[in-house]
Every structure is written in structure tokens, then in C-alpha cells.
Structure 1
């Protein structure tokens, strides 16, 4: 016990830690707490509130499960290494953590893609939406996404090269520089098709909404689809899912831009920049709850009932 408190206050050379280490540790603990609590609440509200158990609701539950696993298996392992400034759990745990990270990130990207496809169907084929996008098919796509993500993430586990401890951010990450073929495969099967689909579908949706607004009254009457506030077709659902997707993209964008910059111009000698951008990305797991509270009245009512203990 004495050694533990000594490790909290002193580093290996016996010198006091600076404010940066204390700040980083506090940030990790706070982010971990909110990731766990917020995603448990999202899952509980979605699964117990009438009107939220639709296709989008199940995709959001799957997203929340992935984020909850991150809050249970990934972020807590960063607390003690952040204090002692080294990885203390061994290479095997580091490699397993990297594997789980890839699985969860792949699942998350796939979920956002399926959500965007569902929104596209609600706008492009409203008369056939109920038959084209069913809860049964949604569950099949969720199962496929999890299984495909696990299968695609297995090669790093069998790789000879170990995962790296990202000291500046206090997390283990895959050493992509030694797995160029795998990097290309992941980009071709997960990243590229998913983000192209997400970009195309939301651009299509909002272009169509804009065109409808500029139609004459006669044209609006002839239009098969009209923006409304009713789910699953309405603007409220489109805006909600777009906001959640955008929050994820904007949270990860600074860290991704940092990686691109370092590849082009060399390493950035600022540990706090690496830490801030990485943990902003990890904190993307929290924004879903906040957006649902702000933008979805049914979610707010369900949350209130859950907190009050109503049935």
C-alpha cells in the first residue's frame, strides 16, 4: 500500500510529478466515469422506453455497447500507467487492448454507416421503408458488423511485432508502420466504404430537404416525401443521427490530423497535444447521451421515468 501511494506522488527517480501528470490522470478518470455512466443510461433508456425501440434505436444501443466496453476494458487500464508514466501490465495485455480498440472502432464506424443507410431509405423510398428497413434486418446487420470487426481485427493478435504503449496518451495502440498490408485492408473494408456511404447519404438527405423547402405549393403536394417531425421519417431523426455522427467525426479529427501532420512534417514534441487529441477522441463515447438529451424528447421522458423508478 505504501508503494502505491509512493508511485502516485513520485516517479522512478524520486522526483515529484508535475501538474501535467495529475491533470492527465484526472481527465482519464473523469472520461472513464462518464463513458460508463452515460452509455449505461443510453442502453437502459433505449431498451425500456416505448417508441425508441426502432431501427435507429437498436443501432444506438449497439454503439453504446461498444462505448461501454471501451469504458470498462480500455480506459481504466490507462489510469495507473498515467501515474507511473510507463506500461505496467505486460506486452500480452497491451496487444489484447489494441485488438479490442480496433474491434470497437470498426463496430462504431459500421454502426454509423448503417444508421446513415437507414436515414437514406427513409427519405429515398418512404413508401417501402417499413419493409426495407426492419428491426430483424437491423439486428442481422448489427451481428454481422460485430463478427466482421472481430474477424478483421484478429491479424494483429497473431502478429510478431508487439503493440506499442503510446506514452503521451497513456494507451496501447497498434504499430501500423509494421503492418502496411493490414492497414490497406482495413482502409478498404472498413474506413473508406463507411465514410463514403455516410458522406453521400447525409448530403443526399439535406440536399433533398433543401429542394423541398424551395418547391412551390403545387410541387409539394405532388412530392412523395415531405419533411416532418414524425419518426422514423422526420427531420428530427435525421438531425439527431447526423449530430451524433458529426460529434464522433469532430472528436476524432484533431488526432487524425495530428497523425497526418507528423507523417508529413515530423513528430510534434508536445505530450499534452497528443494526450488532449487522443482523449478528446475517446470522449466521443460521451456525446451521444448529451445529444439525445438535448434533441430527443422521448429520450428525456424515458430518462426521467428511469431516474424516478417509474414502470
Structure 2
């Protein structure tokens, strides 16, 4: 006989049948993911906030994204962990809606930030002479505002107005709704809308911009190589530095794109296909893919920060306690 979360109610959800050893292993893995996400993004936030040399416009975007990922690790992942391992929700229906809304909002906001960061890097690498005129404080502020506001309006509006299962109420109560459950449900229309808003559009922008940066950087590298014998040594050295920065930018954006697609693509593909497959995708698989998507927030600080020498220097200062010394905020992390 199946074990129910609420034994006296026949519409209660099925409890987890996993053994204590399996649950303990899952809890350990998920706690590790949560702590890594929180610690990594907190270090990015502290570094950019504390060190004056890092108070640049493009770092505002990185810091804003780190705040999003930090909040995801603090506010969303712990409750998702209990839900995933125990296969039940013990925190009430209202908090379920709040948790689901914040989950969708922060996950989407993180993806929006990645998209805007790729736009910023495009102008920095491909149009450096006009970068400061195109990417100014107003533009960066607008990017950050959009990255927070649109996901918030979309997530809370869809969940609290119950637009996510509008038109598919019968399927919702048949497949998803039960006491002790807190799983997000999408109809065909809302699923496609969520797929386009949270993944396809920002992901396509990232992919197109990365391809554009890649081909432009390759073209610049060929031009520098062809002119190599005709320039002075000093100019050669400067071109070498510029070429190195271009390759590093291309490599970093390529890794960002690869990590983003690897983490989020499986979840969003299954999410948008599930309504068209009559909701036959197992809930356990959906849960696993959600956690795979969460890993993007775990890896973001590693990709965007750990790949840069300035962050390694900032991390060393923080970990050895020098951050509490007078004028530590003026520490030189890189040459201008």
C-alpha cells in the first residue's frame, strides 16, 4: 500500500519511498550545492562591493547577478531540497505559491543577467572605442532593472493569478494537484510562454552575440597576424595584449554559454514538451532537471569571477582577513 503524506485524506500525495541512506546522500549532495552557491556568490558580492578598483559598470551587472544567485541559494534551494527528497510539501499552500514565484523569478533573472552581460561584453570586445559612450550608467541601470522587474512580474503574475494552468484545469487536478504537493504546472500556452520568456529569447540573444564576438575576434586576430611584420615592436606588444584579452573574452563567454545550455536546456525542453506529451514525464525527472538548472547559479561565480586574476587576489585578501585592515578597499588588484 502506498504511504501518504496525510493518511486521512484520499487526495494526498505519495510520500518518498526512498531509504534513509538514499535520503541522507541526497541531502548531503544538495546541502553541498547550496553552500557552494551561497559562498561563491557571497564572495563575488563582497569583492565588488569592497574593493574600489572593482567599482566599474560591467561589474555592477556581475554583482547584480551574484545577488540573484545568492538569493536563489538562500531562499529557494533549501525548501526545494526538502520537497525533492521527501516528495512532499509541508510549508502550506500560500508559501508554496510564494516559493514557486520566487523560484521562477530568480532563475529567470539569473538568465536575463547572463544575456545582458553578453551584450556588455560584445561592445567591450567588438567596439571598444565607443564602449563608454554606448554602455553608460543609464544603460547598465536599465539592464539591471529589466533583469529584476520582468522576471518578477512574469513569475508572481502567472502563479498568483493561476495563469500557469488556465485552460488545463482538469489536467492540473488530475496530474499535479494534491495535498502535500508543490510542483509547478504549465498548460500548453503558459509552458510555451515561460519557455520563450525565461530561456529561448535570452538564450538566443546570448548565442547570437557569442557567435558574433567569436567571428569578429577571429577576424581581428587574422588582421593582426597579417600586419605583424609591418608594425613596430611596441605596437606588436600592445596588439599581443589586446589579442590575448580578446581570446580570453571569447573563451569566457564560450564557457558561460556552454554551462548555461548544459544546465538549463534539459529542464526547459522537458517543461515545454510535458503538456504536449499529456504530462507523462516523471515528476522525479523534472525535480532532477530543476536541480541541474540550479547548478548554473552555482557555476556562475566560478566562470565569471574565478577565471579572472583580480578575483583570486580579492579572494586571498578576504580569506586571510586583510579585508579588515585600514585602506584595504584601495588594494590594487590589477594594473590599469
Same-fold status (TM-score > 0.5) = yes
For these two proteins, the number of residue pairs brought into alignment is 292
Aligned to 2:249: 237
Asked if residue 254 in structure 1 is aligned to residue 262 in structure 2, the reply is no
Question: Counterparts of 2:50 and 2:113 in 1: how far apart (Å)?
Answer: 21
| Structure 1 residues 79-90: aligned runs within 5 Å | 79-82=81-84, 84-90=86-92
Aligned to 2:67: 65
Give yes or no for contact 2:113–2:144 (8 Å, CA) kept in 1.
yes
Cα deviation for residue 305 of structure 1 reads 0.9
Query: Structure 1 278/166 Cα, relative in aligned 2: closer, same or farther at 3 Å?
Result: farther
Aligned to 1:43: 45
Question: Counterparts of 1:187 and 1:111 in 2: how far apart (Å)?
Answer: 17
Write out per-residue CA displacement over residues 130-179 of structure 1, whole angstroms, 9 at most, x where no aligned residue: 11112442123202321222222232243347999989xx99443112x7
Question: Counterparts of 2:151 and 2:86 in 1: how far apart (Å)?
Answer: 33
Q: Which runs of 5+ in 1 are unaligned?
A: 1-11
- Helix, strand or coil: the match of 2:88? coil
What is the TM-score normalised by the length of structure 2? 0.73
Give yes or no for contact 1:78–1:171 (8 Å, CA) kept in 2.
no
What is the TM-score normalised by the length of structure 1? 0.78
Asked if residue 107 in structure 1 is aligned to residue 109 in structure 2, the reply is yes
Of 211, 219, 227 in structure 2, the residue corresponding to residue 218 of structure 1 is 227
Write out per-residue CA displacement over residues 54-73 of structure 1, whole angstroms, 9 at most, x where no aligned residue: 23311111111111111111
Cα deviation for residue 203 of structure 1 reads 0.2
Of 196, 199, 204 in structure 1, the residue corresponding to residue 204 of structure 2 is 196
Question: Counterparts of 2:269 and 2:110 in 1: how far apart (Å)?
Answer: 20
- Helix, strand or coil: the match of 2:227? helix
- Helix, strand or coil: the match of 1:89? coil
Give yes or no for contact 2:263–2:295 (8 Å, CA) kept in 1.
yes
Question: Counterparts of 1:152 and 1:286 in 2: how far apart (Å)?
Answer: 24
Task: Tell me which structure has the larger Cα radius of gyration.
Answer: 2
Give yes or no for contact 2:110–2:297 (8 Å, CA) kept in 1.
no
Question: Counterparts of 1:306 and 1:205 in 2: how far apart (Å)?
Answer: 34
| Structure 1 residues 1-311: aligned runs within 5 Å | 17-82=19-84, 84-160=86-162, 172-177=182-187, 180=189, 182-215=190-223, 217-218=226-227, 229=241, 234-259=246-271, 263=276, 267-268=280-281, 271=284, 273-292=285-304, 294-310=306-322, 311=328
Cα deviation for residue 95 of structure 1 reads 1.0
Query: Structure 1 274/103 Cα, relative in aligned 2: closer, same or farther at 3 Å?
Result: closer
Give yes or no for contact 1:229–1:235 (8 Å, CA) kept in 2.
no
